[in-house]
Chain A
Amino acid sequence: MAEESILTDDFLRELMNVGEVDILVGMPTYNDAATVGQVVQAVRAGLIKYFPRQRAVIINADGGSKDATPELVRAASISDLRQPSGLTALRTLHSISTQYPHGGENGQALRLLLAAADLLRAGACVVVSADSVNIEAEWLDRLLRPITNGSADLVTPLYHRHRFDGLLVRNLLYPMIRAMYGKRVREPYPSEFAFSGRLGSYLLGQDIWSEDGGNSGAEICITISALAGNFQVAESFLGSRGRIEHGPADLVHAMRQTVGVSFWLLDPTFPAWSATTGSQPVPSSGGGPQVTLEPLRINRKRLHQMFQVGVAELEPVLKSILAPPTLAELQKEAAAPQETFRYPDDLWVRTVYEFAASYHKSVISRDHIIQALAPLYRGRAYTFLVENIDATGEQTENKVEDLCLTFERLKPYLLEMWDGRK
């Protein structure tokens, strides 16, 4: 059995002591001591307040922290030997910690949590990020309730987001996944999400965990697998989400984890997405996504420059990926001065689809394909910033909706390329 290889004997012994549970809270960590304390407190408060009768466990999958993160998680336990002051709990709450084998790769942590959930026969599982500094006890209720009342198998979050936060999600992941699988999931790459035991067992049995996708982009794997597997997906509004900044993001790495995994999953899920047209909203609770408008300093000039340089330097690579008309149009836009440069929806969608088809056909190294998409995405991000610089929240949302519709409208184009008709 696959899970036997990832669960240590000590961890198994701890699971044995936990026994069957109704709710499993999973918390992947890596050197999160600065924030994990308040997160586990919120989790514990949420369990006691909203699920006092359910058997619950907090499981920390740690990537080898050197800052005592696991000890902080374990301290959340409630037992007959440890009853935190001010809290009255009906039940014992185990909070246990284990290390996952490949430090840094979240997929291994999630796989470990799935295996634990399967062994403990957890009816509902929620994964929370250890750096969610805004987490509140209510999040547990909002994420888990649709699972425990049987109305959903996967619950993804909705947040207050700044209009320029999550550009990759708004310009590529959300619209493309929506167009592919026909469900409007605003946060397909969630930091917090909940899933049913049924979906967890299904995911654990999927042949995705030995691949790079399952290792590095497990969250998006879970969303797409649920959509393609026809599981019920719902959204819950959580409010603002604050995070600790860990330094400048590595765009290529982020794209491997998200876009790369989305492209990779197009192969195994082809029967599902190829038969889907249009899209439907998923049930949501607590309100829709909300956009905040505070001023934000972004170096647009540098974005544009990186786009231009990328198009020029990667021309040989782009020639092997993009159709000639698309490449020509792209180069024409790249030649425009910054003031007038725009990466229009139609061209962006065709670019993405041609990259996806090339990834499918492995026209060159798949990793090179993802790397080549990074500078083009910068051009698209620049366009989004410029077009929405003075927009209201509603106008920004309308722009995103227009892009989504373009992805849906041009989906036949992807299908033609996919089966070689183009």
Chain B
Amino acid sequence: MKLLRSKPRHPPFVGFADFYFLGSLNLVMPQTAPWYQDAIIYQVHARTFYDSNGDGVGDFRGLAQKLDYLQDLGITAIWLMPFFPSPLRDDGYDIADYRSVHRNYGTLEDFKSFLDAAHQRGIRVIIEMVLNHTSDQHPWFQESRSSRDNPKRDWYVWSETDTRYRGVRIIFLDTELSNWAWDPVSKEYYWHRFFSHQPDLNYDNPAVREEMWNVMKFWLDMGVDGFRLDAVPYLVEREGTSCENLPETHAVLKELRAKLDQQFPGKMLLAEANQWPADLRPYFGNGDEFHMAFHFPLMPRMFMGLKLEDRKPITEILQQTPAIPDGCQWCLFLRNHDELTLEMVTDMERDYMYDEYARDKNMRLNLGIRRRLAPLLDNDRRRIELMNGMLMSLPGTPIIYYGDEIGMGDNVNLGDRNGVRTPMQWDGGWNGGFSAADPESLYSPLMLNPVYGFQAVNVHSQKRFEHSLLSWMKRIIKVRKSAPVFGSGSIEFLYPANHRVLAYIRQLGNETVLIVNNLSSAAQAVELDLKRYKGNILIEMFGRNIFPRIGDLPYLLTLGSYQFYWFRLRRI
């Protein structure tokens, strides 16, 4: 049989090693998709991953040393959390210098070396860019507050009163009483949507817009592949509005995108906008704003659907998700560095989620739950696999949060969201293999408990066994990468009468994949209406076993507790 090889799309990023396997099926391949549509993104903070110099804090040299691990895992892109100089009062989202690297993580040269090493392995690098605000320690703000007639005064949003933009919601409810903070130096209030030590930049000022593009250009020139733009709905303020998602904000973002396309084609912008799908849609514009955006409302509903054993929350939110322009993509995730946000759910749903996933009040933060994936799912391997199965098969680019591939736990006794930012657990030895420093000098305590501690959960031990979670994650990533349909295919839900079963068809060109998920803790039987595919046989994608041909009758499947199937449909 003739092998059809797909042309590498983004040299030197061949990717899709398994794509060649598909070639033997004599498929007519669709037009290749942009790299980010087929990516598997790994989210990590340099601080948390590996400490190369024994100072107790992870760094870029350490991260570079662990790139082989990430390549072996199969991920194709790394999303780095903020690594800029910062007073670190918000885990680096309070940037004090946009053109350098925090000394804890190394030097700019270290970063460049890491970037080159990642590229050599076919791994792209996405960095964080906090557009909305700076640290109050940033020289721009220091200048701005120094006097009311300083040239940088208008780089931030100042007011004589704290009554402007009345009614705008406060995001960090647990810590902030107002979006205005009094500056005793210049005797005016400044606007901040997040912590009061994070003053918002004034995007009505063309100089600010120009300077932020220059910052981005600085990193693009160095070779980064994309930006995750933080807190984008809040860039511009207008009286009488919610100061979120304003047309003026979209105009700023479109301006940045136009410059990016013109000067750095192939690079990517990812929006962090915790909004409802209909409000998120404008961030894609007409394909001229963001390339990708996080699908925030889906994530809590996946957990809800699993606990309810009912697909309704998942299908409903995806039904409400508008189509996005060609070349755009959703970003899907199960967990990240923040709390499991419950802003995009109803009060009833939030109460349910709290009761089911955060009975201990310590687990709650702001409007969310600060827990990792494995503890959220009671360390139940079947549920962890099912959730990852959905993450990898629903339409979008999946993001894996560091440590979730081995089932790391969390420590809710650490403040803020630090409980989900503990050191990566590499082995069962000194400091879990993370650092040679004294344990007392680590940036964060290691997980020590007998269930999730580094001696029980670590990369080294899981590498040894074919059936470990890590090995399973490698397999599912490999299977996902073998079928471009997962990255950019269409989706059609099947709605079988059994509501505990979530079934959908992904299709791209003449490649069709059927996914069937049992959300229930009990075995289920389900009848699927597959009449349109009559004559096809099903090939289970993990074991490649053949299942019966689709006939005239509803296709009957039985699924064990939390089991899922991925089938490739073949007409032979």
Contacts and interface: CB of A to CB of B under 8 A. Distances in A.
Interface of A: 13-14, 16-17, 19-20, 52-53, 55, 79-81, 83, 88-92, 94
B522 interface: yes
Given A80-B312, A80-B315, A90-B308, A14 B352 contact: no
B310 interface: yes
B497 A17 contact: yes
A90 to B, nearest CB: 6
The 9 closest A-B pairs by CB, nearest first: A17-B497, A80-B315, A92-B499, A17-B498, A80-B312, A92-B312, A91-B310, A92-B310, A80-B316
Nearest to B521: A20
A81 B352 contact: no
Contact of A91 (B308, B319, B493): B308
Contacts of A79: 312, 495, 499
A358 B496 CA distance: 57
Given A53-B352, A80-B319, A90-B349, A19 B308 contact: no
B348 interface: yes
B500 interface: yes
Nearest to A81: B495
Contacts of A94: 499
B482 interface: no
Contact of B499 (A17, A52, A53, A90): A17
Interface string B90-127: 00000000000000000000000000000000000000
B313 interface: yes
Contacts of A88: 346, 348
Interface of B: 304, 308-313, 315-316, 319, 346, 348-349, 352, 493, 495-500, 520, 522, 524-525, 527
Given A20-B522, A90-B308, A94-B499, A83 B348 contact: no
Given A53-B352, A80-B312, A90-B308, A19 B495 contact: no
Contacts, number: 55
B349 A19 contact: no
10 contacts: A13-B497, A17-B498, A19-B522, A20-B522, A53-B352, A79-B312, A90-B304, A90-B310, A92-B310, A94-B499
Contacts of B525: 16
Nearest to B319: A80
Nearest to A92: B499
Contacts of A17: 496-499
Contacts of A81: 495
A280 to B, nearest CB: 38
Contacts of A13: 497, 527
Q: Which of A17, A81, A89 has the most C-beta atoms of chain B within 10 angstroms of its own C-beta?
A: A17
Contacts of B349: 90
A103 B136 CA distance: 79
Nearest to B347: A88
B524 A19 contact: yes
A47 to B, nearest CB: 13
B318 to A, nearest CB: 9
B520 A19 contact: yes
A81 to B, nearest CB: 6
A323 B316 CA distance: 71
Contacts of A14: 497
Contact of A19 (B313, B496, B498, B527): B498
A163 B474 CA distance: 75
Contacts of B308: 53, 90-91
Contacts of A91: 308, 310, 312
Nearest to B304: A90
Contacts of B309: 19, 55
B261 to A, nearest CB: 38
A80 B311 contact: yes
Contacts of B312: 79-80, 89-92
Contacts of A16: 498, 525
Contacts of B352: 52-53, 90
Nearest to B349: A90
Contacts of B311: 80, 92
Given A83-B316, A88-B348, 10 more contacts: A13-B527, A19-B499, A20-B522, A52-B348, A55-B309, A80-B493, A90-B308, A90-B348, A90-B352, A92-B499
A90 B310 CA distance: 9
A16 B499 CA distance: 10
Contacts of A89: 312
A273 B162 CA distance: 78
Nearest to A88: B346
B251 to A, nearest CB: 35
Q: Which of B304, B500, B520 has the most C-beta atoms of chain A within 10 angstroms of its own C-beta?
A: B500
A88 B308 CA distance: 15
A92 B348 CA distance: 15
A83 B500 CA distance: 17
Nearest to A20: B522
Nearest to A83: B316
Nearest to A91: B310
B70 to A, nearest CB: 37
A80 B495 contact: yes
A14 B497 CA distance: 8
Contacts of B313: 90
A160 B548 CA distance: 61
Q: Which of B352, B496, B498, B527 has the most C-beta atoms of chain A within 10 angstroms of its own C-beta?
A: B498
A52 B353 CA distance: 13
Nearest to B497: A17
A16 B315 CA distance: 21
B350 to A, nearest CB: 11
A137 to B, nearest CB: 16
Nearest to B520: A19
Contacts of B499: 17, 19, 79-80, 92, 94
Contacts of B316: 80, 83
B223 to A, nearest CB: 44
Nearest to A89: B312
Nearest to B313: A90
A92 B500 CA distance: 9
Nearest to B318: A80
A346 B196 CA distance: 85
A89 B498 CA distance: 17
A94 B522 CA distance: 18
A81 B319 CA distance: 10
Contacts of B524: 19
Contacts of B315: 80
A87 to B, nearest CB: 11
A81 B352 CA distance: 22
B317 to A, nearest CB: 10
B258 to A, nearest CB: 39
B500 A19 contact: yes
B128 to A, nearest CB: 35
Contacts of B497: 13-14, 17
Contacts of B493: 80
A96 to B, nearest CB: 10
A55 B520 CA distance: 12
B521 to A, nearest CB: 10
Contacts of A90: 304, 308, 310, 312-313, 348-349, 352
A17 B495 CA distance: 11
A55 B496 CA distance: 18
A193 B73 CA distance: 58
